[in-house]
Amino acid sequence: MGEEGTKGTVHLLCLAASSGVPLFCRSSRGGAPARQQLPFSVIGSLNGVHMFGQNLEVQLSSARTEDTTVVWKSFHDSITLIVLSSEEGTSELRLERLLQMVFGAMVLLVGLEELTNIRNVERLKKELRASYRLIDSFLGDSELIGDLTQCVDCVVPPEGTLLQEALSGFAEAAATAFGSLVVSGRVVAATESWWRLGTPEAVLLPWLVGSLPPQAARDYPVYLPHGSPTVPHRLLTLTLLPGLELCLLCGPRPPLSQLDPQLLDRWWQPVLDPLRACVPLGPRALPAGFPLHMDILGLLLLHLELKRCLFTVEPSADQEPGSPEEKVEDAAQRSQVPRACYLVSGPEGPGTGWRLVALQSGPRRLLLLSAQSPTHALRGLATHTLHALTPLL
């Protein structure tokens, strides 16, 4: 559930739409998986009120009680997903996107045909167990934000060009056009074909890799919810360094055994140092030494055309000092003036409360969190930061 709201309990229900039979129930409490399950009577009531509305041609999409938000969503008239959240401040949009991600995960690992043409409920229940780990990662605390932004979580490596060349060469040698480097569920580099993957698989695939337990190599069958929901592909992963994985999306070939150590050494040994520099990038997103103003506590940069994002609440320790007021003057001299808005929570004095500023410039959106900058300096701080980040994304 990311960072939104005060931690509470989240219940996720999946039912067969026609019969109302529960297929699974997953829960989290305080951001961690929980064994607490809803009583069957509650599950039946939640599904019953939704079906009652459908019979009257009324679409029930959400409801609120004093301490809980409930969202319903049906997929292909076959699967009904229901989520209940007691997290303070959780929005209905946030929960609706969560359900979209959950169904995407189900298609990714089971295939659309099994979900829309249910022949054997018990068999489907067993097959859906393969998606539990990925789904649980959506419900718990996560440093990823692609489920909410619907953009691919990325990091910026210090020597991206070298890694891109090695990745393209290796993918060609492995006879696939789809390759990426993934660290902690975030894409470090990818081939052009990988970047052209549709939504939601472009977000789901690196998230899946980040959610799996460490393994030297994998040959994982996956469906592409947008591009190939009924015909499986193979997701091959190879651990280059702890936490850093090479991912290939391919058909029947190549066999995993063809990706032998000699082939790996040929392409990746020359760039071993740049690879090592990628490992700590997970939560930070930006390379060490990238100049950020010391007032910035966290940032989110979206590129809505490329469908990519940078997100961190752990900016680099090498932050630049300086007066935010000076940045306002610099920004005013730019020919392109971004559109901006801001939110101040708490007292106005520096060091008290929080300041959130949002900036729009072309296809880019930047959100900054600061505790020190005075309100009148927020726009200049954000504009300066956006200009510094623009070459990266």
Question: Out of 122-126, 355-359, 372-376, which region has the weakest mean confidence (pLDDT)?
Answer: 372-376
With tokens 């979900």, the residue in question is: 115
Question: Out of 29-43, 327-341, 359-373, which region has the weakest mean confidence (pLDDT)?
Answer: 327-341
- In angstroms, the CA 30 to CA 28 distance is 7
Per-residue pLDDT tens digits for 29-82: 877 878 777 888 899 999 899 888 888 888 889 999 988 999 999 999 999 999
**pLDDT exceeds 80 at position 361:** yes
- In angstroms, the CA 373 to CA 348 distance is 10
Mean pLDDT of 82-96: 92
Residues 139 and 1: beta-carbon distance below 8 Å: yes
Residue 225 DSSP label = T
**pLDDT exceeds 60 at position 337:** no
Residue 121 DSSP label = H
Size (the chain), residues: 393
Q: Roughly how many angstroms between the first and final C-alpha of the chain, as a whole number?
A: 25
**Phi–psi pair at 335, nearest 5 degrees:** -75, -35
List helix spans (H) across 226-298: 261-268, 272-278, 281-284
* pTM given for the model: 0.89
Q: Which contiguous run of DSSP H or E holds residue 75?
A: strand 69-75
Amino acid letter for position 354: W
Taking alpha carbons only, the member of 368, 361, 389, 345 closest to residue 295 is 368
Distance of CA 28 to the CA centre of its chain: 18
Does the bond joining 200 to the residue before it have cis omega, within 30 degrees of 0?
Answer: yes
Q: At what angle do helices 261-268 and 160-173 cross, to 10 degrees?
A: 150
Taking alpha carbons only, the member of 340, 349, 344 closest to residue 372 is 349
Residues 143 and 154: beta-carbon distance below 8 Å: no
Question: Out of 167-176, 222-231, 284-293, which region has the weakest mean confidence (pLDDT)?
Answer: 284-293
Render 263-275 in DSSP notation, one character per residue. HHHHHHGGGHHHH
pLDDT at residue number 289: 83
Residue 291's pLDDT band, with cuts at 50, 70 and 90, is confident
b/e code 231-241 from CB counts within 10 Å (16+ = b):
ebbbbbbbebe
**Token pair belonging to 384:** 């300066």
**Token pair belonging to 239:** 């651990």
Q: What sign results for the dihedral spanned by CA atoms 118, 120, 121, 126?
A: negative
pLDDT at residue number 290: 87
Structural domains in the chain, CATH included, are 9-141 (3.30.450.70), 152-283 (3.30.450.30), 296-316+340-390 (no CATH)
The arrangement of strands across the sheet holding 178-183 comes to 186-190, 178-183, 244-250, 228-241, 217-224
Can you list the positions of beta strands (E) in 86-183? 152-153, 178-183
Q: At what angle do helices 92-110 and 201-211 cross, to 10 degrees?
A: 80
**Phi–psi pair at 27, nearest 5 degrees:** -140, 155
Residue 1's pLDDT band, with cuts at 50, 70 and 90, is very low
Cα 181 to Cα 160, 268, 305, 341: the distances in Å are 11, 12, 21, 35
